């Protein structure tokens, strides 16, 4: 009888799972998956220049320039984040970058107080600050827990809802067509369409409901005679906006301070999204990788200041798409970045988007800004309220943040720098939440709230 083979008794060699983050799909599939990411984030990306342009009362051609610059910088930063630049920039995960809503209100306030040269000068300064602060911030994430980030995200959304209302109704109550029933009906129809898409579609289709609402709403607006695309014909097919379109940058201290706070809020957004993608892909970013990703946000602000664009953050919409599609390849995100870069080089496309009617953009913005608020509320669900002072922190921070929204002239008697910093809901809410979090959770003496149950110090301090 032949001897029994020992090989058969040995356990099989373990199968090493393929690292899908570094897997490059075939070219046709890569292109389709990259386009999917672009479609999911496109509306959010172009909404920022549309809203800022309307608030700053810029003409259609200038808004078109901002849109192209926005797409161009978003594409470049997405390539940097997904592919990396040596050991200096980029988290090297499947993330897509786009203009952050956080910057809109501070930019509008700075433009009104100091002019557009100060908007882009302060953006450059904030970008340099971001490059210097990336490593310390990555090591000090504990000072920006869900308590702080949830408050800030909630206030971002709430503070922008009024902007969406202004786009739908108009900014001049004395105008003949202010809050015209036809405009309100058009906006309501778009919101209903987005809701129906969310209710009766699944997967990728449910994620592009706002984009579909934008397209269908524009068609309806054209039938109502509300569209004017006359400026599109004069735009070039290929081109790039000149740097410093609005003139030599200026750097007022209050404007720079406000935009530096915006950069810290942007870091908070990006950190949460990069950690989420890290959990999905099984490649949780190290502090150094996180710092490289945050440094890319800083670079986006510098490029935005030079090329008339906006600071970028990691887009949560695309994080959701990574989870839904189960496609973890960073090369798919890089493909999306390349597509965004190409779109940014087509001025005619930017002019088309800039010509969209206010009620259409306002309806889409209303849904998107309210969604940001809902994300903030969801973030606050992770906060421990029982036996802590966290409810007080949330209440005071949101209250202080919303003051300039409900009473825009409340700081009119103060110096210009106070009006810029305090007049921004996002800046004031961020500073308040950060300070209160330090007071209640990072000082030696913590007094638990009496609830009838004994709380341990660790539970009381949890934020």
Three-class SS string for 235-280? CCCCCCCCCCCCCCCCCCHHHHHHHHHHHHHHHHHHHHHHHHHHHH
Better-scored residue on pLDDT, 12 or 392: 392
**Against a cut of 0.95, is the pTM above it?**
no
203 φψ region: left (φ > 0), alpha (ψ -120 to 50), beta (else) = left
Long-range contacts of 415-420 (CB under 8 A, 24+ apart): 416/113, 416/114, 416/252, 416/254, 417/252, 417/253, 417/254, 417/257, 418/254, 419/109, 419/113, 420/106, 420/109, 420/110, 420/113, 420/114, 420/252, 420/254, 420/255, 420/257, 420/258
Which secondary-structure segment (H or E) carries 99? strand 97-99
* 266-296 per-position pLDDT tens digit: 998 888 888 888 888 888 888 899 999 999 9
In which residue are the tokens 């998956």 written? 33
- Does residue 160 lie in a domain region? no
Better-scored residue on pLDDT, 253 or 231: 253
Per-residue confidence (pLDDT) for residue 444, from 0 to 100: 67
- Does residue 64 lie in a domain region? yes
Structural domains in the chain (count): 1
Q: CA 424 to CA 439: how far, in whole Å?
A: 23
Which secondary-structure segment (H or E) carries 313? strand 312-314
Return the CA Rg of the chain: 24
- Does residue 425 lie in a domain region? yes
List the beta bridge partners of residue 312. 99
Evaluate if residue 331 carries a pLDDT over 90: yes
Which secondary-structure segment (H or E) carries 27? helix 27-55
- Does residue 248 lie in a domain region? yes
Q: Which of 47-51, 291-295, 404-408, 442-446 has the lowest mean pLDDT?
A: 442-446
- Does residue 392 lie in a domain region? yes
Per-residue confidence (pLDDT) for residue 302, from 0 to 100: 96
DSSP string, 358-424: HHHHHHHHHHHHHHHHHHHHHHHTTS--TTSSHHHHHHHHHHHHHHHHH-TTTTTTS-HHHHHHHT-
- Does residue 408 lie in a domain region? yes
Q: Which of 11-20, 197-206, 243-252, 438-447 has the lowest mean pLDDT?
A: 11-20
- Residue 183: φ, ψ to 5°: -70, -45
Q: CA 462 to CA 390: how far, in whole Å?
A: 9
Which secondary-structure segment (H or E) carries 98? strand 97-99
C-alpha separations of 178 from 171, 279, 293 in Å: 8, 48, 44
Average pLDDT, the chain: 84
Percent of the chain having pLDDT more than 90? 32
Whether the Cβ atoms of residue 329 and residue 23 lie closer than 8 Å to each other: yes
- Does residue 246 lie in a domain region? yes
C-alpha separations of 83 from 29, 87, 336 in Å: 18, 11, 12
In which residue are the tokens 């870091």 written? 267
Domain region containing 262: 20-148+225-360+382-446+453-461
* 67-111 per-position pLDDT tens digit: 999 999 999 999 999 999 988 899 999 999 999 888 888 999 899
The token duo for 383 is 């906060």
Average pLDDT over residues 208-237: 83
Specify the length of the chain in residues: 463
User: Which residues touch 380 (CB under 8 Å, ≥6 apart)?
Assistant: 146, 147, 150, 151, 154, 394
Which secondary-structure segment (H or E) carries 111? helix 104-114
454 burial via Cβ count (<10 Å: 0-12, 13-18, 19+) = exposed
Q: Which of 9-23, 118-132, 236-250 has the lowest mean pLDDT?
A: 9-23
Whether the Cβ atoms of residue 74 and residue 340 lie closer than 8 Å to each other: yes
Three-state DSSP class for residue 307: helix
List the beta bridge partners of residue 314. 97
- Does residue 101 lie in a domain region? yes
């Amino acid at each position: 009888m032949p001897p029994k083979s020992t090989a058969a008794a040995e356990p099989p060699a373990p199968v090493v799972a393929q690292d899908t983050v570094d897997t490059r799909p075939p070219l046709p599939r890569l292109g389709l998956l990259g386009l999917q990411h672009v479609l999911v984030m496109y509306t959010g990306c172009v909404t920022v220049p549309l809203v800022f342009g309307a608030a700053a009362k810029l003409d259609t051609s200038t808004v078109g320039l901002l849109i192209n610059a926005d797409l161009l910088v978003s594409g470049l930063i997405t390539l940097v984040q997904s592919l990396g630049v040596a050991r200096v920039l980029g988290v090297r995960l499947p993330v897509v970058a786009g203009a952050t809503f956080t910057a809109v209100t501070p930019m509008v306030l700075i433009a009104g107080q100091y002019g557009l040269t100060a908007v882009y000068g302060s953006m450059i300064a904030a970008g340099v600050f971001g490059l210097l602060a990336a490593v310390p911030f990555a090591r000090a994430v504990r000072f920006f827990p869900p308590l702080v980030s949830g408050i800030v995200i909630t206030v971002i959304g709430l503070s922008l809802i009024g902007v969406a209302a202004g786009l739908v109704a108009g900014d001049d109550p004395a105008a003949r067509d202010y809050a015209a029933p036809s405009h309100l009906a058009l906006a309501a129809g778009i919101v209903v369409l987005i809701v129906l898409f969310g209710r009766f579609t699944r997967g990728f289709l449910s994620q592009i409901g706002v984009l579909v609402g934008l397209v269908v709403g524009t068609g309806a607006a054209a039938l109502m005679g509300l569209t004017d695309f006359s400026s599109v014909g004069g735009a070039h097919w290929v081109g790039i906006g000149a740097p410093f379109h609005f003139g030599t940058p200026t750097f007022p201290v209050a404007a720079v301070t406000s935009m530096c706070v915006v950069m810290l809020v942007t870091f908070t957004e990006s950190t949460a999204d990069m950690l989420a993608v890290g959990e999905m892909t099984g490649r949780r970013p190290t502090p150094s990788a996180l710092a490289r990703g945050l440094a890319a946000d800083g670079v986006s602000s510098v490029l935005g200041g030079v090329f008339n664009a906006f600071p970028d953050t990691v887009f949560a919409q695309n994080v959701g798409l990574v989870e839904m599609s189960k496609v973890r390849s960073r090369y798919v995100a890089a493909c999306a970045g390349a597509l965004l870069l190409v779109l940014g080089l087509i001025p005619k496309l930017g002019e088309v988007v800039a010509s969209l009617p206010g009620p259409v953009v306002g309806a889409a913005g209303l849904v998107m800004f309210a969604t940001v608020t809902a994300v903030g509320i969801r973030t606050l669900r992770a906060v421990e309220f029982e036996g802590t002072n966290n409810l007080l922190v949330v209440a005071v921070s949101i209250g202080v943040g919303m003051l300039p929204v409900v009473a825009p002239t409340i700081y009119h008697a103060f110096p210009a720098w106070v009006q810029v910093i305090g007049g921004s809901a996002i800046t004031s809410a961020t500073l308040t939440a950060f300070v209160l979090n330090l007071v209640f959770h990072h000082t030696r003496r913590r007094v638990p709230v009496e609830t009838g149950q004994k709380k341990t110090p660790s539970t009381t301090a949890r934020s």
